[in-house]
């Protein structure tokens, strides 16, 4: 079982959106998935409550190891509650404030496999594009700013359940992240 955390010291980085869509990528690739919503806001659990997601979302870590391929944990933004999972995806925006916060705090989890994920990149903004490309050159995963992520969650679904403009590109971004996780 792969145990993966979506964790960041910053709020608003897109942890829940990425965690839900990553879980869908794993599910639609033929894997058994459970997403643990460890954020007190319970946003992932709220989406799951609409009964449209093909995988399970629980409000805490299971007490007994589940029979799944992926146990994905969506954390609240914090530096007090560090992830225990072996692989940590650290969502961040392509901003100097996120870059500095993530650079400082990833030192706290250096014993983990850390994948920075630059989320909601708007390539029309010069500084944002430059920082995103710098992080990409250092091994970060990029996710473009796409309205399909917001629209699918508003419908209680993921981009894998949508067949509208932008869904194919968004699915490809999530599948590349899944491939990156599986490459080790």
**DSSP conformation class of 52:** -
The total of structural domains in the chain comes to: 1
Per-residue model confidence (pLDDT) at position 59:
96
Per-residue model confidence (pLDDT) at position 109:
96
Model's pTM, two decimal places?
A: 0.97
Burial of 51 per CB tally in 10 Å (0-12, 13-18, 19+): exposed
Per-residue model confidence (pLDDT) at position 26:
98
Query: Residue 66 in 3-state DSSP?
Result: coil
Q: pLDDT averaged over consecutive 10-residue blocks of the chain (184 residues)?
A: 97 97 98 98 96 97 96 96 97 96 95 97 95 97 97 97 96 98 89
Per-residue model confidence (pLDDT) at position 184:
73
Please report, for the domain that includes residue 124, its CATH number: 3.40.50.300
Contact between 155 and 89 under an 8 Å Cβ cutoff? The reply is no
What element of type H or E holds 54?
none
The boundaries of the domain holding residue 171 are 2-182
d(CA 146, CA 156): 17
147 token code pair: 């309205």
Per-residue model confidence (pLDDT) at position 96:
95
């Amino acid at each position: 079982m792969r145990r993966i955390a979506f964790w960041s010291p910053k709020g608003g980085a897109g942890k829940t959106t990425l965690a839900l869509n990553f879980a869908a990528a794993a599910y639609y690739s033929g894997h058994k998935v459970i997403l643990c919503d460890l954020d007190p806001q319970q946003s992932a659990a709220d989406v799951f409550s609409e009964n449209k997601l093909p995988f399970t979302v629980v409000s805490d870590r299971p007490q007994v190891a589940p029979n799944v391929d992926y146990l994905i944990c969506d954390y609240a933004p914090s530096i007090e509650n560090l992830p225990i999972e072996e692989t940590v995806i650290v969502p961040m925006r392509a901003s100097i404030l996120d870059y500095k916060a993530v650079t400082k705090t990833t030192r706290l989890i250096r014993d983990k496999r850390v994948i920075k994920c630059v989320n909601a990149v708007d390539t029309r903004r010069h500084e944002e594009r430059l920082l995103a490309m710098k992080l990409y050159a250092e091994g970060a995963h990029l996710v473009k700013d796409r309205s399909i992520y917001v629209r699918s969650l508003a419908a209680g679904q993921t981009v894998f359940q949508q067949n509208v403009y932008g869904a194919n590109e968004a699915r490809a971004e999530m599948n590349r992240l899944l491939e990156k996780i599986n490459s080790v």
